[in-house]
Chains A and B, each alone.
Chain A
Amino acid sequence: MPTIHLAIHFALLLLLPPLLLGVITKTKAAFAGRVGAPFLQPYHDLVKLMKKGTVLSRTTTWVFRAGPAVGLATVLCAAFLVPFGNHAAPLSFEGDLVLFAYLFGLGRFFTVAAALDTGSPFEGMGAAREATFSCLAEPALFLGLLVLVRSSGSLSLGGMMGSGLGAEWATAGASLVAVVCSLFIVLLVENCRIPFDDPTTHLELTMIHEVMVLDHSGPALGMILYSASLKLFVLGAVLVRIAMPLGEERPFLGWALFVAGMLGLAVLIGVVESTMARLRLLQVPMLLVGAVLLSAFGIVLLAR
């Protein structure tokens, strides 16, 4: 992989994610008929938080402080494995999809533990929900990726989303549609978007992700915000790569299309958030099971 593309990869990874949040907010504002905050507002928020001091709960231990850090580090690690644009991933090996999924798991372990560390019943509640819903999201993610494994015959993310993907759309298009839908649901739940969770709600009892981070402040909260956007970006990248199979020729056009795709995804999320209401908590598992079944359906279609 040429250095230039590696540099672009990292530049996009580090700089682009907050913009997605800005795009989503802007889209929602547009739907609500407001002007909304500027696109770059998330960057301002992050800078402001990084400059702030920290207030820590007396009940907490270092686990609480480590939570955001581990969360950020794991998402960054995972980003090494995902191919952006029409390029290969910086790191690619057989079975890296397992590492990819498990890195999110490691991050989740520590963010959930950090929430429990406060001893607050509300944060515990959010932690429980987060842990529960991701239990169902994980099989859906794996089953979705399995469709790609089967159709491409490759065991690495790079290979699965490589140049052969275009041909697979022709032969196994139905399966891939199912996978894209399923992964979109996974993306929404992993990033706590509507219809699973409303990041802008103000009632703690209904929250999932936001309630877990109630006690974080200052740089730690900034890290959480940043890693949330990173996670959206990384998972979104997977989705975009699958949905937009690009050939390997014309590398820079690939980058442009990829960024456009990511922004399009952000708009799509904004549209979903604007047109749908948050689901009742008890209905969330059903939708997730639906995602699992969708992925499984993709596999069944392959077996024809």
Chain B
Amino acid sequence: MSVALVLAGLVLCGLSGLPGLFVHRERGSGERVFAALMIAGAAAGVVGALRALALPAESVLHRAWPVRAGAFDLRIDPIAVMFLLQVLVIGALGAVYGLGYWRQVDHPRNGRKLRLFYGLLVCAMGLLVIARNGVLFLFGWEVMALAAFVLVTTEDHERTVRGVGYVYLVATHTGTLCLFAFFGLLHATAGTVDFAAPDLEAGALPLTGPAATALFLLALVGCGLKAGLMPLHIWLPGAHASAPSHVSALMSGVLIKMGIYGLVRACTLFSEPPLWWGGLVLGLGVVSGVLGVAFAIAQHDLKRLLAYHSVENIGIILMGLGVALLGRSLGNDALVVLGLSGALLHVWNHGLFKALLFLSAGAVVHATHTREIDRLGGLWRAMPLTGAAFLVGAVAICGLPPLNGFASEILVYLGLLRATTHHGDATWIFAALSVASLALVGALALACFVKVFGATFLGVPRDASVPAAREAPLSMLVPMGVLALLCVAIGVGSPVLAPLLGAAARTFAPGLATSASALAPLGWVTAASLAVLALVGASVMLVLWRTRGAQAAGTWDCGYAGGSARIQYTSSSFAQLLVGLFAWALRPGGHAPALRGPFAPRTHFASHVPEVVLDVVVLPACRLAARSFERLRFLQQGRVQFYLLHVVLTLLVLMLWR
């Protein structure tokens, strides 16, 4: 029953774009039907998911599916619920946002296509998290990937968008091929392609040895490509920047989490992961976190910057997962609970605040028609509500109390700190260094978001050519408001989620003893958040009250009268010091003028940070391969005599084969 409800909701979402196809391309009725269907589908799905959580007996559906090794095997367990809710909620909110952001009348060319595949994307993601059969999982996985490809290339008339779409497609297909190998190998070693058959408990498969290692690495690469962990993130910044903003929100908030989901699921297959798995995941998390945020700081493009922050947050999630894996290897239940809860809660939180940030960034782009942070400024006056939404998202993504980012980050911290106090081997040094890295990540994220928020919404407009902005319409503001409220709600109410997180941890590692006590600090988080809220609120009120009716004057110009708005510190100049610190990884380039003489001629300055892995490693390697392939073209140079020679030579070689 619950599963049927979820399934019905997903189907509703999947079909939500269809009616619009039969409406004339200039008319808007299709989009309203779409949004209504998405909301209805999401509501049904959420109800079904919660019901499944309450009544575990009803959370399984098993039907035959006449394809090889396939079975229509659905199961809604706590881990699935964690992801399912996110898919549905953010999917529906994005759909509503699209009503204002991507109106059919403004985009007659691609509006209908966008909505059709948007619904399909939500449906596919929902399906893949409840699927237990590997073939069904892959099915959802790939439909998701293709739908996302269509969405990323919505504006395919632009050259950059096409390039970005191609890179995305290749990356996602590579991941899919890894998963092909994963399931093939799983079938060969365990005789099943299921993520734990319905009657099997998780972790029951006796998988060890090189096969298990190969499986783990395949899952790591296949899911890592989707999740966008450094250095497999090459597709992510471009794709998220080029897609329409609500699609970016869905992709960054939800789609990349499917990679995390796959990895978590794959890890449930193994009962005794070796210690180095957890170490590897933790290490990758550290690398993704630090480098992701470092790249983010160097960006000029608002959405690209947000995209790199996804890499960073995936890093934090992986750190949590790494802790959980370490806990399984060490037999330390608290580590498992804290690590996995931190990871899963951060999956949620990142979905919420990243979607919020992308939606508000989309509102900015919608209003100003530019993504260049250095051209923006002073938008708060024109769009205070959007600004407030962005502020909430920014504070949340920095992991600052009293918002939700803090609740999940502290769990990861706690896991790492617990690992630091672990006695017995050298794991703890690794954990300690990870704590420091996480602290670095937090501080860098703060620097980055204060930069973006300040440069975009505060100060005065930098570029007169940017059109005067207007506040976003209600259809865009409402989803942002809901997301912002959810960020606050989880920030102060995280203990409510503790049972769900504990249940998810037990799904991950059956036989956990101490789940409740390890999550106890969440109660303190609530207390602290409330205290901070109260104290900050009171003091802000006090100051506002005390400074009401203050005298207005110009900004103190330090005596340099006559400066224009252009001399404001831009986001690039704000980031310059930090970019310099990370120059070894970022390889910043650009054009700096050499000033000579007292009256320097007119000149320009530009700075640029390439996507290092893609531009410096992957693309040159691909070009090299393509060039060497082209050298083999002589084999096919048109003379039939040579072709016949191929036949003879093949014959001779095969005759001599024996």
Contact = CB atoms under 8 A, between A and B. Distances in A.
B450 A138 contact: no
Contact of A99 (B401, B447, B551): B401
B586 to A, nearest CB: 15
A51 to B, nearest CB: 11
A123 B563 CA distance: 14
Interface string B529-564: 001100110111011101100111111111000010
A142 B451 CA distance: 24
A224 B395 CA distance: 21
A220 B459 contact: no
Nearest to A131: B447
A127 B569 contact: yes
A95 B378 CA distance: 38
Interface stretch (B14-22, B187-195, B417-425): B417-425
B554 A116 contact: no
Contacts of B410: 95, 98-99
Contact of B555 (A94, A113, A120, A204): A120
A103 B454 contact: no
B496 interface: no
A191 B451 CA distance: 21
Interface stretch (A16-24, A73-81, A162-170, A239-247): A73-81
Contact of B413 (A98, A105, A134): A98
Interface in B506-544: 520-521, 524-525, 527-528, 531-532, 535-536, 538-540, 542-544
A265 interface: no
B398 A109 contact: yes
B220 interface: no
A124 B444 contact: no
B378 A119 contact: yes
B458 interface: yes
B450 A102 contact: no
A220 B548 CA distance: 12
Interface string B59-87: 00000000000000000000000000000
A69 interface: yes
Contacts of A143: 432, 435-436
Nearest to A150: B420
Nearest to A155: B417
B437 interface: yes
B542 A138 contact: no
Nearest to B400: A106
A70 B539 contact: yes
Contacts of B381: 61
A119 B450 contact: no
Interface residues of B, number: 85
Contacts of A115: 454
Given A119-B555, A135-B444, A292-B436, A69 B459 contact: no
A55 interface: yes
Given A63-B380, A65-B543, A77-B535, A146 B420 contact: yes
Interface string B428-464: 1100110111111011101101110111001110000
Given A95-B410, A109-B450, A119-B377, A219 B547 contact: yes
Interface residues of A, number: 82
Interface stretch (B207-215, B576-584, B622-630): B576-584
B458 A116 contact: yes
A72 B552 CA distance: 24
A61 B456 CA distance: 13
A101 B399 CA distance: 11
Contacts of B544: 62, 65-66, 69
A215 B555 contact: yes
Contacts of B406: 99, 102
A131 B527 CA distance: 28
A118 B459 contact: yes
B400 A53 contact: no
A119 B460 contact: yes
A258 interface: no
Contacts of A69: 536, 539-540, 542-544
A77 B531 contact: yes
A58 B528 contact: no
A101 B421 CA distance: 20
A80 B440 CA distance: 24
Nearest to B402: A106
A219 B548 CA distance: 12
Contact of B458 (A55, A63, A128): A63
A107 B536 CA distance: 10
Nearest to A303: B429
Secondary structure type dominating chain B contacts: helix
Contacts of A91: 527-528
Interface in A129-172: 129, 131-132, 134-139, 141-143, 146, 149-150, 153, 155
A116 B569 contact: yes
B242 to A, nearest CB: 28
B377 A94 contact: no
B426 interface: yes
B414 A56 contact: no
A117 B454 contact: yes
Interface string B384-405: 1000000100110011110000
Contact of A150 (B400, B432, B453, B568): B432
In this complex, the member of B426, B443, B449 whose beta carbon has the largest number of chain A beta carbons within 10 angstroms is B443
A102 B413 CA distance: 12
A181 B70 CA distance: 63
Nearest to B432: A146
A146 to B, nearest CB: 5
A236 interface: no
A111 to B, nearest CB: 9
B632 interface: no
A56 to B, nearest CB: 5
Nearest to B569: A124
A227 to B, nearest CB: 10
A223 interface: yes
Nearest to A215: B556
Given A102-B400, A120-B557, A155-B417, A139 B543 contact: no
B607 interface: no
A38 interface: no
B400 A127 contact: no
Contact of B442 (A74, A138, A149, A300): A138
B417 A149 contact: yes
A136 B546 CA distance: 36
A55 B547 CA distance: 9
B551 A106 contact: no
A267 interface: no
Contacts of A209: none
A106 B443 contact: no
A108 B535 CA distance: 16
Contacts of A95: 410, 413-414, 417, 521, 524
Given A72-B539, A73-B535, A303-B429, A218 B547 contact: yes
9 contacts: A66-B540, A108-B450, A113-B458, A125-B569, A125-B573, A138-B440, A139-B443, A155-B414, A218-B547
Given A59-B459, A137-B443, A303-B429, 15 more contacts: A57-B555, A65-B540, A66-B544, A76-B535, A77-B532, A98-B410, A106-B401, A119-B458, A122-B558, A127-B569, A131-B451, A132-B581, A218-B547, A220-B547, A295-B436
- The 3 A-B residue pairs with the shortest CB-CB distance, nearest first, are A124-B569, A116-B454, A119-B459
Interface of A: 53-63, 65-66, 68-70, 72-74, 76-77, 80, 91, 93-96, 98-99, 101-103, 105-106, 108-109, 112-113, 115-125, 127-129, 131-132, 134-139, 141-143, 146, 149-150, 153, 155, 204, 214-215, 218-220, 223, 285, 292, 295-296, 299-300, 303
Interface of B: 377-378, 380-381, 384, 391, 394-395, 398-401, 406, 409-410, 413-414, 417-418, 420-421, 426, 428-429, 432-433, 435-440, 442-444, 446-447, 449-451, 453-455, 458-460, 520-521, 524-525, 527-528, 531-532, 535-536, 538-540, 542-544, 546-547, 550-558, 563, 565, 567-569, 573-578, 581
